[in-house]
Amino acid sequence: MKTKLLTLALGAAAFATVSSSASAATLDDVKAKGFMQCGVSTGVPGFAFTDDAGDWQGFDPALCRAVAAAIFGDPKAVKFTPTTGKTRFTALASGEVDLLARNTTETFSRDVDLKFTFGPVNYYDGQGFMVRKSLGVSSALNLSGATICIQTGTTTELNLADYFRANNMTYEPVPIETNAEAQEKYLANACDVYTTDASGLAATRAAFEKPGDHALLPEIISKEPLAPLVRHGDDQWADIMKWTLNALINAEELGVTAANADEMKASSKLPSIQRLLGGEGEMGAALGLGNDWALNAIKANGNYGEIYEKYIGPNTAIGLERGLNGLWNNGKGGILYAAPIR
Amino acid sequence: MTVAADFADEAEPFRISQLIYDKRYRSYTIQVVTMMLFMLAVAWLVNNVIENFEALGKTFSIDFLWQPASYDINQKLIEYSSRSPHWKAAVVGILNTLVLAFLGCIFATIVGVAVGVARLSKNWLVSRLMTIYIEGFRNVPVLLWILLVSSAFSALLPAPRQAAPLLGGGFVPTNRGFYFPAPVFESGSGILAIIFVASIIGAWFFGRWADARQKATGEILPVFWIRLGILLVPTFLMYFLLGMPVGLDIPELKGFNYQGGLFVRNSFMALWLALSLYTGAFIAENVRAGIQAISHGQTEASSSLGLPPSRTMNLVVLPQALRIIIPPLISQYLNLTKNSSLAIAVGYMDVTGTLGGITLNQTGREMECLLLLMAFYLTVSLLISGVMNVYNNSVALKER
């Protein structure tokens, strides 16, 4: 009996030591799994949606695919996990997803307190309001007493409270979980106003039967720098996210597209292009990836500009102008300015 | 002398093997081993939490409860603004949960008792309808009922601007909620309240007096009607004598929404209806089981004494059935209270929505928030079952 008891105790002790915490080397885990897990939203037209074949498409999934291509050379080596505004951070912190690309605003508390590392901003946004034109409201300052649909667990929830308080106005918040639910409530007139990031409003409105009946109010009440994020404590993984996005932006600046990337690598004499595409230097190896990491990332969905044009640009139903999200040197007021790859 | 006694007399030295093979010690061995395994499992879980917290660089602290919450809550029973601390947001949520659970339990009981009795009706149509109701509600997840009622409200009812007020403008159903007239208490309503309380006490004393009189003389008074009179007549008289001190605040369409009156949000209505009807179906089955468990002889005996069916039910069957009904009723109340955490599905700001929802999300304190939430639900559930057990003891069969 003695021996038996001892075995039991030892077994239990061994069990206890197995209790693993979130491993530090995410890249190794991802490589071992053979795919990356990416958290996206539950569905915002243009930004994240499933196509007819059931594959995730959109501005945010495109970034996930670029990162997967940088790691595996295969943009399809991603599993997508739809998350709500409420579940997204838990999903990332618990290791359910490796990367969160889900129109998430970078803030101090999310970085420092919730312990996430944000990549470069991939969309400069701000919180706006959408109302029915028939209400005859022309400014957010006329919204006192309105019923407002708002996604819970977001920064917009806090901005809204601050804005109405600062302007001495009252409102009735209707908390909802997903964009689809908000759309349903708003269209049923169960709320007068829908507020979220202006890009999200434009995207949502584009999917309406009669987009012309709805107006975005001129006030933008907050800064919402949307960026991808990963867990604190794994710098290598954070670097992969950061430099993949930087590579996509730099590629646009250098004129490298999905179509001409291979050709550019073979023929371009520009050192900056050669460094980007792995023709010279050992940039990829330093990241723990192959030397053609950026080349593969660009070939996945094209450069930043191509992704923008394909999913949310002026020629799509969403119709978002580049505005702040244009390149810094195109002379149209853009502020996209990616650190150079050298 | 018996063999067993011989065996016991022998002073046998204790051997380790007795821990397994001797009946007297084996149960201790099993208990000790089980206890050790249990402790190891707990230690493993706690250790896991501590290690993961360290790995994430997080600390365990509830200081965040004193930070400003920064978000607004639509339904609040106490003073609350976005500048109030997180603990106050939690209290607002707790009160919302309790209101829902309390009103839900009351309505579920009313529905349950009525349906349970009606299901035993000799009227074929009534009993079949009740069967359909019970089976329909019991066998579909309550979340679906909540979502169904909620989307029916927001899709079928008109928006405030198109809404048609009913009952002379007093009652306005809209797809945002229901507006009722709210009482406005002016000076003099205090006197009215005192008179009403006095009437309640008077009605109670009258009941006791009538009981005593019935025991002494056998005469039965129309207690119900006299009580109703005692309750209402003085209050109504004083209401008009004092010049109608209690007015009604009628909701009016102003700007985006109706203003004034009492506003009951759709989220609350949907939850309250769905939870009550769902739990009511279970209670109805408990009630039916309780009534059917009373032997038919009791009913026959009561009839042969000349008691009419309604009195048979009230005086003979129900008091005995209650003893059977109450224990499962307690667990239905607990179910309803715990199911109220589904509120999040329709955006009702209960404690799961505030403390376990927005606060958790904005502060990132998952462990702390969830532990607090669990502690709250545990406390409430234990309180409910404690109170109901006291009541159960008071109606249980007294064995002397």
Residue of A nearest to B349 (CA): A175
- Using a CB-CB cut-off of 8 Å, the residues of chain A touching B266 are 190
Q: By three-state DSSP, how is residue A20 classified?
A: coil
Cβ(A230)–Cβ(A93) under 8 Å? no
- Using a CB-CB cut-off of 8 Å, the residues of chain A touching B68 are none
CB spacing of B364 vs A113 below 8 angstroms: yes
What integer is the mean pLDDT of A258-282? 90
What integer is the mean pLDDT of B9-27? 78
What's the 3-state SS for chain B? CCHHHHHHHCCCCCCCCHHHHCHHHHHHHHHHHHHHHHHHHHHHHHHHHHHHHHHHCCCCCCHHHHCECCCCCCCCCCCCCCCCEHHHHHHHHHHHHHHHHHHHHHHHHHHHHHHHHHHCCCCHHHHHHHHHHHHHHHCCCHHHHHHHHHHHHHHHCCCHHHCCCECCCCEEECCCEEEECEEEECCCHHHHHHHHHHHHHHHHHHHHHHHHHHHHHCCCCCHHHHHHHHHHHHHHHHHHHCCCCEEEECCEEECCEEECCEEEEHHHHHHHHHHHHHHHHHHHHHHHHHHHHCCHHHHHHHHHCCCCHHHHHHHHHHHHHHHHHHHHHHHHHHHHHHHHHHHHHHCCCCHHHHHHHHHHHHHCCHHHHHHHHHHHHHHHHHHHHHHHHHHHHHHCCCCC
Cβ(B249)–Cβ(B182) under 8 Å? yes
CB spacing of A22 vs B56 below 8 angstroms: yes
Express each pLDDT in B169-205 by its tens digit: 678 888 888 888 887 777 777 888 888 888 888 888 8
How many residues appear in chain A?
342
- Using a CB-CB cut-off of 8 Å, the residues of chain A touching B347 are 152, 174-177
Least confident of A117-131, A205-219, B86-100, B181-195: B181-195
The percentage of chain B sitting over the pLDDT mark of 70, rounded to a whole number, equals 96
Four-residue CA torsion sign, A55, A116, A73, A294: positive
Residue B211 is predicted with a pLDDT of 84
What integer is the mean pLDDT of B146-169? 83
Distance from CA of B360 to the nearest CA of A (A): 9
CB spacing of A174 vs B74 below 8 angstroms: yes
- Using a CB-CB cut-off of 8 Å, the residues of chain B touching A157 are 71, 358
Supply the pTM of this predicted model. Answer: 0.78
Complete domains list, chain B, with CATH: 3-52 (no CATH), 89-157+266-395 (1.10.3720.10)
- Using a CB-CB cut-off of 8 Å, the residues of chain B touching A86 are 357, 361
pLDDT bucket at A252, cuts 50 / 70 / 90: very high
Cβ(A121)–Cβ(A324) under 8 Å? no
Name which of B324, B315, B326, B313 is nearest B290 in CA terms: B324
Supply the DSSP string of A253-306, one letter for each residue. Answer: HHT--TTTHHHHHHH---HHHHHHHTSSS-HHHHHTS-TTHHHHHHHHH-SHHH
CB spacing of A152 vs B353 below 8 angstroms: yes
Cβ(B106)–Cβ(B337) under 8 Å? no
CB spacing of A19 vs B175 below 8 angstroms: no
CA distance A273 to A246: 13
Residue A43 is predicted with a pLDDT of 87
Burial annotation A32-68 (CB, 10 A radius, 16+ → b, else e): eeebbbbbbbbbbbbbbbeeeeeebbbbbbbbbbbbb
Residue A13 is predicted with a pLDDT of 45
CB spacing of A12 vs B353 below 8 angstroms: no
pLDDT at residue A15 greater than cutoff 80 = no
Which class in CATH covers the domain with range A26-124+226-325? alpha beta
User: Within 10 Å of residue B210's Cβ, how many Cβ atoms?
Assistant: 17
CB spacing of A19 vs B44 below 8 angstroms: yes
Give the phi and the psi of residue A121 in degrees, each rounded to 5.
Answer: -65, 130
Express each pLDDT in A200-216 by its tens digit: 898 889 888 888 899 99
Burial annotation B106-129 (CB, 10 A radius, 16+ → b, else e): ebbbebbbebbbbbeeeeeeeeee
CA distance A146 to B74: 12
Q: By three-state DSSP, how is residue A92 classified?
A: helix
Q: Which residue among A12, A110, A145 places its CB closest to the CB of B40?
A: A12
Residues of chain A with CATH 3.40.190.10: 26-124+226-325, 127-222
- In CATH, what number does A127-222 get? 3.40.190.10
pLDDT at residue B6 greater than cutoff 60 = no
CB spacing of A175 vs B349 below 8 angstroms: yes
Residue of B nearest to A185 (CA): B154
Residue of B nearest to A132 (CA): B256
Mean pLDDT rounded to a whole number for chain A: 88
Residue of A nearest to B259 (CA): A145
Residue B400 is predicted with a pLDDT of 64
For residue A100, CA distances in Å to A106, A111, A227, B33, B346 come to 12, 13, 9, 45, 26
- Using a CB-CB cut-off of 8 Å, the residues of chain B touching A26 are none
Express each pLDDT in B28-73 by its tens digit: 889 999 999 999 999 999 998 888 888 777 788 888 899 999 899 9
pLDDT bucket at A10, cuts 50 / 70 / 90: very low
B386 is written with which tokens?
């404690």
pLDDT at residue B4 greater than cutoff 60 = no
Express each pLDDT in B230-265 by its tens digit: 888 888 887 887 777 777 777 877 778 887 778 888
CA angle B95, B96, B99 (to 5 degrees): 80
Residue of A nearest to B361 (CA): A153
**Judging by beta carbons within 10 Å of its beta carbon (0-12, 13-18, 19+), is residue A210 exposed, middle or buried?**
exposed
CB spacing of B266 vs A144 below 8 angstroms: no
User: Within 10 Å of residue B303's Cβ, how many Cβ atoms?
Assistant: 14
- Using a CB-CB cut-off of 8 Å, the residues of chain A touching B56 are 21-22, 93, 115, 231-233
pLDDT at residue A3 greater than cutoff 50 = no
Q: What is the ipTM of this complex?
A: 0.75
CB spacing of A152 vs B361 below 8 angstroms: yes
Distance from CA of A50 to the nearest CA of B (A): 23
Q: Which residue among B257, B344, B357 places its CB closest to the CB of A147?
A: B257
Least confident of A59-73, A300-314, B202-216, B377-391: B202-216
